[in-house]
Amino acid sequence: ELLAVDGIGAQAADSLRLYFANQAVSEMLDQLSALGLKLTNQESASNLPLSNKSFVFTGSLTMSRSEAKARVKELGGKVVSTVSRKAIVVCGAKAGSKEKKARDLGLRILSEDEFTALLKGNLQLPDND
């Protein structure tokens, strides 16, 4: 199952399996749970509008970068720093090489206005983005 997660290879999956099989880790997680820590259920996160979507920001945005990242994460998305075939690129003013690379790869590019509409639920992305 871990191999299906974007960015997880065989070595990382094996390391994670070994880590969580450790008795001390299991006890620590039990203690944290008893203190009120709630781990996110992946199934519920997959119902969020931006689940399985990766975003890259380039250029100057009117909202802060940290706010943009937080909003993406709240809606189930992931923020990455490099352009890849799976990324959706959000371009603000004076976007640079990331925008060029995205265009060269034929990726989905959103203006800041489109990104804002997406956050408000006024823009839908195809499932294959």
CB atoms within 10 A of CB 106: 8
Measure the CA–CA gap between 76 and 57, rounded to whole angstroms: 16
Q: Tell me the three state secondary structure of residue 121.
A: coil
Residue 124, CB-side half-sphere exposure with 13 Å CA sphere: 2
Mean pLDDT in order along the chain per 10 residues (129 residues)? 77 89 89 82 69 93 93 92 92 94 94 95 75
State the pairing for strand pair 54-58/78-79: parallel
Question: Could you tell me where in the chain the CATH 3.40.50.10190 domains are found?
Answer: 43-119
Q: Does CATH number 3.40.50.10190 belong to domain 43-119?
A: yes
